Amino acid sequence: MDPTPQRKIIHVDCDCFYASIEMRDTPALRTVPLAVGGQPDKRGVIATCNYLARRYGVHSAMSSARALRLCPSLTILPPDMRRYREASQAILHIYQRYTALIEPLSLDEAYLDVTGQPHCQGSATRMAEAIRQQIREEVGITASMLVAPNKFLAKVASDWNKPDGQLVIRPADVDDFVAALPVEKLWGVGKVTAQRLHQLGVNCCGELQQWPLATLRQHFGRFGERLYELALGIDTRPVSNERQRHSISVEETYVQDLPDLNSCLAQLPALLQRLQQRLARHQHPALRGLTVKLKFADFQQTTVEQAAPNLSAERLAALLRIAHARGNKPVRLLGVGVRLAENGREPWQLPLFTPDD
């Protein structure tokens, strides 16, 4: 008999978090299409929006200008991160009443491992209901929750019962639930991988379960092993409150397009300085690579990466040249970043621009 208890994982996702805080504090906003994000005349982007705005097709990561074209009556407010962090802390304190195993994913999203907890007679379903009620009463917003035996299952269907909903996947339900799951729902399966799976005749996990592990490795390399496990609903990762950051980056969307490569290169010193400041706040973590991201005026996007143990202006400039050559068009957004080493085992160096650079 396996002495290890069945995990009970709750995935919490607050409903349109930033917009919900704005509607809580200004009740008149509850009856109008509302978004939080940048202004359209400054090439702003929507961070989130309420459900009234979503009826018009507005969604996060959409340009504010396009959002206004879809919904001319849309109210767009600038983000107020201080209030959002205060609400997030209040929600965290509610989680802590039920478990110490909390893995935040963002200000409004987290995993909770409530395995073996005595609250609510040990029922994860009842704990989730209690947490939802306390968030509603004490913070003034709603949250949706999914209860499942592992993190993958708890996350994969988190948006199926929104807003203010709750879904429970019991261990006995896992096989049927996963078998019907579209392959697009699997972590790491983007458009390209999904298309390859469809070409191979695989549309859902039930069909993917029929493939031997060796065959999946032939087609997808090491990722085939992950596909094999997820298609069976297997995910052994623990909920961790010592989450490691994998990357740090900064980016800028420009009011006027950067017309050519030289104008992009001229923006690098300012971006690098901001990146160095962010790294300093994280106590100079060890690096394993550099990244440059470009979004062209036609919204085509490209990213170039290179393994590197230190932050170098010369390397970033070289990556920028490669990225720009892929489109050779005016640029609306430029970003630079670093990939962080696992467990800080690789050496850290911090070269700076000299006054002559």
Sketch out the chain's domains with CATH numbers: 9-15+82-170 (3.30.70.270), 17-79 (3.40.1170.60), 175-231 (1.10.150.20), 247-344 (3.30.1490.100)
State residue 285's pLDDT score: 67
Nearest to 239 by CA among 69, 105, 342, 102: 102
**Could you tell me the strand order of the sheet in which 301-307 lies?**
247-258, 331-340, 287-296, 301-307
308 touches 292 (CB < 8 A): no
> Can you give the pLDDT at residue 278?
85
**Contact residues for 157 (Cβ-Cβ < 8 A; gap 6+):** 146, 167, 169, 177, 185
Does residue 108 have a known ligand-binding role? yes
Cis peptide before 163 (omega within 30 of 0): yes
pLDDT of amino acid 241: 81
Annotated binding-site residue? 41: no
Tens-digit pLDDT profile for residues 263-307: 999 999 999 999 988 888 776 668 889 999 999 988 889 999 998
The pTM assigned to this predicted structure is 0.76
Question: Residue 137 catalytic?
Answer: no
Catalytic residue of the set 22, 109, 225, 251: 109
pLDDT tens across 5-43, in order?
789 999 999 999 999 999 999 999 999 999 999 888 887
Q: What residues in the chain have per-residue pLDDT under 70?
A: 1-4, 243-244, 283-285, 342-357
